A and B are shown apart, each in its own frame.
Chain A
Amino acid sequence: MTDLRFMVRQLVRNPLSLAGIILIFIFAVIAIFAPLIAPTPAGHGDPYMIPRDGFSATPALPSQQHLFGTTEGQYDIFYGVVWGTRSAFRVGLVVIGVVVVIGIVLGSIAGYFGGVIDEVIMRITDIFLAFPALILAMALVTVMQPSLTSVMIALIVVSWPSYARLIRGDILQVREEDYIEASRGLGASNARVIIRHALPNAIYPTLIMASLDIGAVVLSAAALSFLGLGAPEGYADWGQLTAFARNWIVGPSSDPLRYWFAVAIPGLFILFFVLGWNLLGDAFRDILDPRLARR
């Protein structure tokens, strides 16, 4: 309990981490209250599909009806970014959650038991790491039918190996500690030693990496969407909104910044989301550093 209070105090004290918390908090509020902030028009089916107001390719300027304007194909940007927050959280949390679990299981087994098991698991991770991550992800999404789910699966496949390696390394280090030997000497089983004694001492670097990576995963997902390998057309997803704006980055020569909103608004959402997680990850790193004085 005191540890939790200590953590919260440290988080709030540092202005940068406070900024991170506030950013993530704002996004969380947007995601939770999306149906209130951007109500789905009556008679519109799936709320995750952005309602469109016509089929014209030219973006329309912000107006009373479309707060942030519309993008190519007359998709409403305001509705898209608000509901896209949900997609961003879903991609980030699901991918990182699954990846951390896979990493912990495989990494701790490899690190703790060593020998042949370690060799086999690590060679498999080597195979996955041998491919450039984004290209492998693109290939996988193409094979699986582009959709948000296949984007998530592809990102899980390309990012678990680094987690397995990280955990393995930390477990290898912790395994040699006397207290591990001591707990075995007191009659604890292998599973108990790993879960109760080795992991709590080895997991912090992974948690820090995970909190930093939530932003990075969302960025990769946006990159895939931008390349057209993401959610179906019209799905509320920041990457896709930027993809719609691809042809409108520069406006007509008389007014080059005419369609700024189509690029900048989804871009800013991505920027602040990633920034928020990065600040939070940095803050976690500082707090979980055991060298930091506790009292």
Chain B
Amino acid sequence: MKDLIRIRDVSVRFYTYEGVVHAIDDLDLDIRQGETLGIVGETGSGKTMTALAILRLVPYPGKIESGSIVFVDKGLDKEIELLKLSEERMRSIRGNKISMVFQEPGAALNPVYTIGDQISEVYLLHQRQELAQRARERVNSLLANGRNGWAATVKRPFWRWQRRLYSKIAQESNSIEPRLLGRLPLFRRLLRRLSDEAMLLTVDMLKDVEIPDPARVAAHYPHELSGGMKQRAVIAMALACSPELLIADEPTTSLDVTIQAQMLELFRRIKVDKGASVLFVTHNLGVASEVCDRVAVMYAGRLCEVAPVEELFLNPLHPYTKALLDAVPMPGKELLTIPGALADALNPPPGCRFHPRCPSAKPVCQQERAILKEVSKDHMVACYLY
């Protein structure tokens, strides 16, 4: 399988008053086309930062210090270095080629706009030309069907004007005349058909994420929907432009278990239907085993182990992965915990960051970090035991 995203040596640091926090340290990770890659780890292990780094949305005072993130654009058949793109080009990728679903569906929706408004905004941002084409066809059919009566006679010049504007947008999404008119009150109404078309696409999209009665839901405000519905709406927003990579940052954490199951089913279907890759960030190993093809385990900003999902659960190699799997609560089993606390990101232990908590630490672990190496096919681990 071909790669979609190639992350090499990426470091993310936060410059705080207390010192430099190494949120991600020399991360190497590939996301392949059409796969679901899970990232698991404790709170603060850098899972979310990895996701934000791909979108270049690391919050202030954080910075992506070094490395490269290559995005292989299937449509253009081109490799794009995301870290070197201009902010403007990057914006055209966010939400369009790579989009993200956030943890808390209630918080990820703006309370002052309806669901429909928010999802159509994505279309208006990224697919103006397509929308203009559809709108032009609609105006054409209005002009062609030769209705009479004084209303149609009055409107005809406006329709012609609209047709001209939409053709301009369809050719060049930033052409001057429609942009200027869009800023003027009253004239703005000429461009209304764009948002009408966007709304139609939105309703289709909502239907796609299995929302019943999508036209009605599109007119609702976020607070009028249940948590599961909101999450579906957020997923619809992320999928609106058929992205090649969908980043899901703990999308099921805040939902109750039955809704979680429905969401996982939805993610599985999306992957099959749309052929998108999914980067699934979670701290729930059960969820990861359900949806992922491969799983990457992170600890304190470093990658410990990457393996296909069965391999990882049946044959975990890294001591941290083993400890994590032991710590999964199961009925009739004594609950084990990992001794110690997560490594301090301000003053990380030297060598392997897990060594203070590792049952099988060797002297070398305190000095030198182990490099990620492939021990069997597709199974990579960063540990001196192997």
- List the interface of chain A (C-beta within 8 A of B): 114-115, 177-179, 181-189, 196-197, 200-201, 290
Contact = CB atoms under 8 A, between A and B. Distances in A.
Nearest to A174: B110
A86 B263 CA distance: 61
A189 B121 CA distance: 12
30 contacts: A178-B102, A178-B104, A178-B108, A179-B107, A181-B102, A181-B108, A182-B234, A182-B237, A184-B57, A184-B94, A185-B57, A185-B99, A185-B100, A186-B94, A186-B95, A186-B99, A186-B121, A186-B125, A186-B237, A187-B91, A187-B95, A188-B91, A188-B121, A189-B88, A189-B91, A197-B110, A201-B110, A201-B111, A201-B112, A290-B111
B43 interface: no
A200 B112 CA distance: 7
Contacts of B202: none
Nearest to A114: B60
Contacts of B100: 182, 185
Given A179-B108, A181-B108, A197-B110, 19 more contacts: A115-B60, A178-B102, A178-B108, A179-B107, A179-B110, A181-B102, A182-B100, A185-B94, A185-B100, A186-B94, A186-B122, A187-B91, A187-B92, A187-B96, A187-B125, A188-B125, A189-B88, A189-B91, A200-B110
Choose among A114, A184, A197 the residue with the greatest number of B CB atoms under 10 Å from its CB: A184
**Interface band, chain B:** 20 to 34
Interface in B93-145: 93-96, 99-100, 102-104, 107-113, 121-122, 125-126
Interface of B: 55, 57, 59-60, 88, 91-96, 99-100, 102-104, 107-113, 121-122, 125-126, 234, 237-238
Contact of B126 (A114, A185, A187, A197): A187
A205 B108 CA distance: 22
Contacts of A184: 57, 94
The 10 closest A-B pairs by CB, nearest first: A186-B95, A178-B107, A187-B95, A187-B94, A179-B110, A185-B100, A182-B108, A178-B108, A187-B91, A200-B112
A197 B96 CA distance: 19
Contacts of A201: 110-112
Contacts of A114: 60
B101 to A, nearest CB: 9
Contacts of B112: 200-201
A183 B234 CA distance: 11
B263 to A, nearest CB: 17
A185 to B, nearest CB: 4
A185 B60 contact: no
A181 B49 CA distance: 13
Nearest to B222: A179
A181 to B, nearest CB: 7
Nearest to A183: B110
Contacts of B88: 189
A181 B103 CA distance: 12
Contact of A177 (B107, B122, B125, B237): B107
Choose among A179, A184, A187, A290 the residue with the greatest number of B CB atoms under 10 Å from its CB: A187
B55 A185 contact: yes
A115 B100 CA distance: 26
Nearest to A192: B125
Contacts of B92: 187
A177 B104 CA distance: 10
Choose among A114, A179, A196 the residue with the greatest number of B CB atoms under 10 Å from its CB: A179
Contacts of B238: 186
A244 to B, nearest CB: 44
A187 B96 CA distance: 8
Contacts of B102: 178, 181-182, 185
A119 to B, nearest CB: 13
A188 B87 CA distance: 11
B109 A179 contact: yes
Contacts of A188: 91, 95, 121, 125
Contacts of B125: 186-188
A177 B107 CA distance: 7
Nearest to B117: A196
A189 B92 CA distance: 10
A184 B99 CA distance: 10
B57 A181 contact: yes
Contacts of A197: 110
